Amino acid sequence: MPSSASPSSQPTAPTHALPTPFDSASCTLITQGAEAFLYRTSFLPHPSTPSSSAGNCALKHRPSKPYRHAVLDKRLTRARILAEARVLVRCRREGVPVPAVLGLDWEEGWVALEWVEGVTVRRGVDEFVNEGRGEEGEEGLGDRKKEREATLRDLMIRIGRAVGRLHAIDVVHGDLTTSNLMLRPPSSSSGVVRQSGSTSPDASVPITTLAGDIVLIDFGLAAQNALDEDKAVDLYVLERAFGSTHPYAERFLDSMLAGYGDSYKGARVVLRRLEDVRMRGRKKSMLG
């Protein structure tokens, strides 16, 4: 979903009522979409869980909509929160890179997720490409340019593999955009990839590498028991997202598909399906 407060804007104090038991002193608003508010807050583990699990968490709040019928509203919120949490729990169990579910309350309309360090792929690619822009056209920088292209290709391969791991367990994401993919730095001590949303995000440190693991987030529209056709549509949505938000990176989409194609047994069949989906998409856009 498009967010009206982008993750790149400075985190702000919450302006909306927070769900119980959270308070504004401990929550920072990260983004605000049409359906959900995303806060960073701290998670206090239950006495039975290891204290190492204490730390930042992402609080996703789906506030009630006053224009919806109250009973329907509660039912919808509950269904969305449960659906998202169920898919995430299943993904975690099967080793798909997604944040852990730490807790939820459908009456209050929230789910707490493990905080993923790093930046969204959208932000990472944008900043990486902008960083390199000054170098283009300059003499003697041919090798640097090649290096940057290789870095982008490598990222695309990792994205394809991450989506492949999801599809391998017959789950489709339903909203594969570059804002719903996060790039988690290999180790926070390396300090090369800036940590978005850390307690003091340093906006002046440029993103100079796209190293790290891809973590899939935002499973509000995900579905289980997916068919090849659903998986192909998932890939098509991602291709389109790259085309509209990162036209420069669009030329590396073949690497994303190569990473996907090698990631699980049924992937090649899905890639063939993708060609049909693209064809239908083209026909539709020609007809208007």
Just list the catalytic residues: 175
Q: Is the dihedral of CA 8, 9, 12, 15 positive or negative?
A: negative
C-alpha 206: how far from its chain's center?
Answer: 20
Comparing CB distances to ligand ATP, the nearer of 110 and 115 is 115
CB of 3 or CB of 209, closer to ligand ATP: 3
φ, ψ for residue 198, nearest 5 deg: -70, 170
Residues 184 and 236: their CA atoms lie apart, in Å, by 24
Please identify which residue in 28, 41, 77, 120 interacts with ligand ATP, judged by CB under 6 A: 120
218 binds ligand ATP (CB under 6 A): yes
Could you tell me the two tokens for 217?
């987030």
Q: Which is nearer to ligand ATP, 42 or 142 (CB)?
A: 42
Residue 239 binding result from ligand ATP, Mg ion, none, given CB thresholds of 5 to 8 Å by partner type: none
Per partner kind, with CB cut-offs from 5 to 8 A, the member of Mg ion, ligand ATP, none near residue 115 is ligand ATP
Backbone angles phi, psi at 61, to 5 degrees: -110, 125
User: Out of 28, 41, 180, 255, which residue is the one contacting Mg ion (CB under 5 A)?
Assistant: 180
Tell me how far apart the alpha carbons of residues 84 and 106 are, in angstroms, rounded to a whole number: 11
115 near ligand ATP, judged by CB under 6 A: yes
Phi, psi (deg, nearest 5) at residue 57: -140, 160
- Let me know: does 77 contact 62? Beta carbons within 8 Å: yes
**Shortest reach from residue 177's CB to ligand ATP, in Å:** 9
Contacts to ligand ATP by CB under 6 A: 1, 3, 7, 30-31, 33, 35-36, 38, 58, 60, 99, 113-116, 120, 179-180, 197, 217-218, 220
